[in-house]
Structure 1
Amino acid sequence: MLVPLILVAAALASAHHSGEDFEGSKVFRVSVDNENHVNLMHELASARQIDFWKPDSAAQIKPHSTVDFHVKAEDVVTVEDFLEQNELHYEVMISNLRSAMEAQFDSHSRATGHSYTKYNNWETIEAWTKQIAAENPDLVSRSSIGTTFEGRSMYLLKVGKAKSNKPAVFIDCGFHAREWISPAFCQWFVKEAVRTYGQETQMTELLDKLDFYILPVFNIDGYIYTWTSSRMWRKTRSTQTGVSCRGVDPNRNFNAGWCENGASKQPCSDTYCGPTAESEKETKALTDFIRKNLSSIKAYLTIHSYSQMLLYPYSYSYKLPKNNAELNALAKAAVNELASLHGTKYTYGPGATTIYLAAGGSDDWAYDQGIKYSFTFELRDTGRYGFLLPESQIRATCEETLLAVKHIASYVVQHLY
């Protein structure tokens, strides 16, 4: 069955849900050269509701950087005036957010059913997890590690040749609801594992020697919300008594420098750390699973977007991990491997200095549990499309990322601990 694109667009932007259909909304990039510019951006953020894309919040803006943010149509003129009056250099990255949302979908009719080169909704991904396990019983098994706030099963795929006591690599996607390219990668990884096992030597060796735990969508409730109500939603969908705003930033909800730098105590903020560490059912499901399997999990990879970076601990402070030199060399090699296919350039390094301070992240938490190889990928792009990467880029993005992930996994096999 083919669904006309106009229906998809209508569903995505359904204004009556989100109060915004994104028509005429813009995404700006502002050059922040000094402390004065930082203060001006804070002033702007407190006067207007601004949706920060990069960094995640006004608190993380630092001198000698650029800031990407989305502004509602009715605020565009005010914001442009403010930037011009204060002589802040800016460019418009996306001139009409609604058009960019529609342009994400590369064909004007949508076949229902799963596709590795299209963005799939949760219902489609859930059915796919069941099917891929059923069709490949010797390589893939499916289990649930818990339920979301809204009661959905969090499906985990275990990919590898069955053998007892194998070391494992844990990969999760879809932490932040609007980062659609992330779940696309987890699906791609499983497809390639199954397709190339027994054909390609590196993948065959990896699946013989390692198990991969793949969590295709961590923040399922939020992901569904981006399809049905508001495309730019980021957080979970949990509620608290007496609090009007919903949701917690799951990547500020882990017990690693929890709610210190780069996280907010305000429930309405996009970087809200939650009432307590591990307050979110999703966070708890993940931490319980990893703690239970800590003796076997040797690497933790979490997939986000955007900015083309490969980050390792720490993000919650400027301290460096014990094996900093090793992680740096491994990140450099993985990034070179990634660039070898399409020439995509990534930067790499410890989270705090490479991007910004951010407390309560899953990668820092995993590292502090004793998982020596802990990385965050920030996939394409660097801001031309931001969170609205077109489907036409899914294949290339996933292919190149797979090279980096395989490189890290191969390294782990050779450096078991």
Structure 2
Amino acid sequence: MCPCSCACLCLCSIRRVSISNLQREIEKQTGYRSSRRRRSESQYDYEVYHSLEEIQSWMFEMNRTHSHLVDMFSVGKSYEGRRLYVLQRPTGLKKAVWIDCGVHAREWIGPAFCQWFVKEAISSYQHDSVMRRLLNQLNFYVMPVFNVDGYDFSWTTDRFWRKTRSKNHKFHCRGVDANRNWKVKWCDEGASSHPCDDTYCGPFPESEPEVKAVAKFLRRHRKRVKAYISIHAYAQMLLYPYSYKYESAAHNAVTALYSAYGVRYRYGPASTTLYVSSGSSIDWAYRNGIPYAFAFELRDTGHFGFLLPESLINPTCTETMRAVKAIASGLLKKCETDKDRFPYI
């Protein structure tokens, strides 16, 4: 397994040509924005990739037009001063599910899925009894773009940028891997201490304001947040932490995902299924008392890699939606079982 990134696009393995014209594929996803931003002025297009500005405008619009189902708030600011916005389905003091996307800037299918999830949750509320039950009994927090600075940079300057955009006082290299910066086995195996590397762990745990803000929010709500889901790409895997006892939940999620289009996902502990890493968000979540902690690596297995075509947004998000619903349903069932056993918890 190539060590250089999250389901890597590795120079060390480029001997066969997967994409004959890389620049053309990049331009397909970033060019001609004015003509393809929306199918009409009033309809947001969920089957194209959107810039940070577009995503945040969409969040404000969802909050304005669906205020009975969607609330919007900020958990803090990024290194470059951008707001870190989160959408939630407010249901009072109930058990909660956290979903974040866009931890690594170049993984554009992540933010696309978070938007898809919110859209589907709202549009299916009336006719989908499973979704309605989940939304009524669980509080969902959805963060479409975790790494806002890096994501914006991947649109304007470097399509394959991965890290945050913080400055280093000793090196010209910028940024930290936001999935190596959490305070759990920090900068151990699978992370780099060199600021120029893609897996740089940072000068200290939670050095990145984005990581610190989310960690602070989750710590403050740790008694309520019972599931943490982080959306990444690519490899078609569902990963969970070390010493994890909810393997059956992963199996159910992968089975639900497969039921959509027959796409197979592997599942298992991150260290043995993908590669060893330290300072990751799912390990931190699990260590801090969030029992359901998962990281999805969405399509594909390497042909397109981070340049997953927009034509695959719909099927990728559709199947992933089934898997996330299966995880949330399993969580709700367990909460109900525990309440039956211990009615005063």
TM-based fold match above 0.5: yes
Separation of aligned partners in 2, 1:103 and 1:346: 27
Separation of aligned partners in 2, 1:382 and 1:246: 28
1:415 aligns with 2:299: no
Separation of aligned partners in 1, 2:22 and 2:76: 35
User: Where in structure 2 are the equivalents of 1:212-251 lying within 5 Å?
Assistant: 212-251=140-179
Q: Give me the identity figure in percent.
A: 49
1:168 aligns with 2:93: no
SS in 2 for 1:283: helix
Task: Encode CA deviations 1:259-309: one digit per residue, 9 max, x unaligned.
Answer: 000100000000000000000000000000000111100000000000000
Which letter maps to 1:393?
A: L
Go from structure 1 to structure 2 and tell me whether the alpha carbon gap of 1:404 and 1:272 turns closer, same or farther (over 3 Å shift): same
Go from structure 1 to structure 2 and tell me whether the alpha carbon gap of 1:345 and 1:410 turns closer, same or farther (over 3 Å shift): same
Q: Which residue of 1 is the match for residue 86 of structure 2?
A: 156
User: Where in structure 2 are the equivalents of 1:368-387 lying within 5 Å?
Assistant: 368-387=287-306
SS in 2 for 1:301: strand
1:68 Cα offset (Å): 4.5
Residue in structure 1 matching 2:269, options 350, 365, 376:
350
1:55 Cα offset (Å): 3.8
SS in 2 for 1:253: coil
Separation of aligned partners in 1, 2:28 and 2:11: 17
Task: Encode CA deviations 1:137-182: one digit per residue, 9 max, x unaligned.
Answer: 111000000000000000010025x3x2111000000000000000
1:196 Cα offset (Å): 0.7
Q: Normalising by the residue count of structure 2, what TM-score does the alignment of the two structures yield?
A: 0.91
Which letter maps to 1:271?
A: T
Q: Could you tell me whether the CA contact under 8 Å between 1:258 and 1:277 is conserved in 2?
A: yes
Which letter maps to 2:128?
A: E
Q: Which residue of 1 is the match for residue 54 of structure 2?
A: 124
SS in 2 for 1:382: coil
Separation of aligned partners in 2, 1:287 and 1:257: 15
Q: Which residue of 1 is the match for residue 341 of structure 2?
A: none
Go from structure 1 to structure 2 and tell me whether the alpha carbon gap of 1:55 and 1:380 turns closer, same or farther (over 3 Å shift): farther
Residue in structure 2 matching 1:138, options 57, 68, 83:
68
Q: Which residue of 1 is the match for residue 128 of structure 2?
A: 200
Separation of aligned partners in 2, 1:134 and 1:147: 22
Q: Which residue of 1 is the match for residue 240 of structure 2?
A: 312
Separation of aligned partners in 1, 2:283 and 2:183: 9
Q: Which residue of 1 is the match for residue 251 of structure 2?
A: 332
Q: Could you tell me whether the CA contact under 8 Å between 1:105 and 1:390 is conserved in 2?
A: no
Unaligned ranges ≥5, structure 1 = 1-31, 33-53, 61-65, 72-78, 81-89, 315-319
Residue in structure 1 matching 2:16, options 91, 96, 103:
91
Q: Could you tell me whether the CA contact under 8 Å between 2:254 and 2:265 is conserved in 1?
A: yes
Q: Which structure has more RCO (C-alpha within 8 Å, separation ≥ 6)?
A: 2
Which letter maps to 1:150?
A: E
Task: Encode CA deviations 1:35-63: one digit per residue, 9 max, x unaligned.
Answer: xxxxxxxxxxxxxxxxxxx5435xx9xxx
Look at both structures and tell me which one has the larger radius of gyration over its CA atoms.
Answer: 1
1:91 Cα offset (Å): 2.4
Task: Encode CA deviations 1:336-360: one digit per residue, 9 max, x unaligned.
Answer: 1101111111000000000110000
**Aligned CA-pair RMSD:** 2.0
Q: Which residue of 2 is the match for residue 110 of structure 1?
A: 35
1:99 Cα offset (Å): 2.2
Q: Which residue of 1 is the match for residue 118 of structure 2?
A: 190
Q: Could you tell me whether the CA contact under 8 Å between 1:159 and 1:190 is conserved in 2?
A: no
SS in 1 for 2:99: strand
Residue in structure 1 matching 2:227, options 295, 299, 303:
299
Equivalent pairs counted in the alignment come to: 331
Q: Which residue of 2 is the match for residue 363 of structure 1?
A: 282
Separation of aligned partners in 1, 2:334 and 2:116: 26
Which letter maps to 1:154?
A: L
Which letter maps to 1:141?
A: D
Separation of aligned partners in 1, 2:35 and 2:309: 14
**Deviates most, 101-110 or 279-288:** 101-110
Q: Could you tell me whether the CA contact under 8 Å between 2:165 and 2:174 is conserved in 1?
A: yes
Q: Which residue of 1 is the match for residue 186 of structure 2?
A: 258
Q: Could you tell me whether the CA contact under 8 Å between 2:37 and 2:48 is conserved in 1?
A: no
SS in 1 for 2:17: strand
Separation of aligned partners in 1, 2:240 and 2:81: 32
Q: Could you tell me whether the CA contact under 8 Å between 2:37 and 2:50 is conserved in 1?
A: no
User: Where in structure 2 are the equivalents of 1:384-395 lying within 5 Å?
Assistant: 384-395=303-314
Separation of aligned partners in 2, 1:129 and 1:139: 13
Task: Encode CA deviations 1:69-101: one digit per residue, 9 max, x unaligned.
Answer: 148xxxxxxx98xxxxxxxxx422223321221
Which letter maps to 2:143?
A: L
Go from structure 1 to structure 2 and tell me whether the alpha carbon gap of 1:144 and 1:94 turns closer, same or farther (over 3 Å shift): same
Go from structure 1 to structure 2 and tell me whether the alpha carbon gap of 1:242 and 1:272 turns closer, same or farther (over 3 Å shift): same
Q: Which residue of 1 is the match for residue 343 of structure 2?
A: none
1:104 Cα offset (Å): 4.1
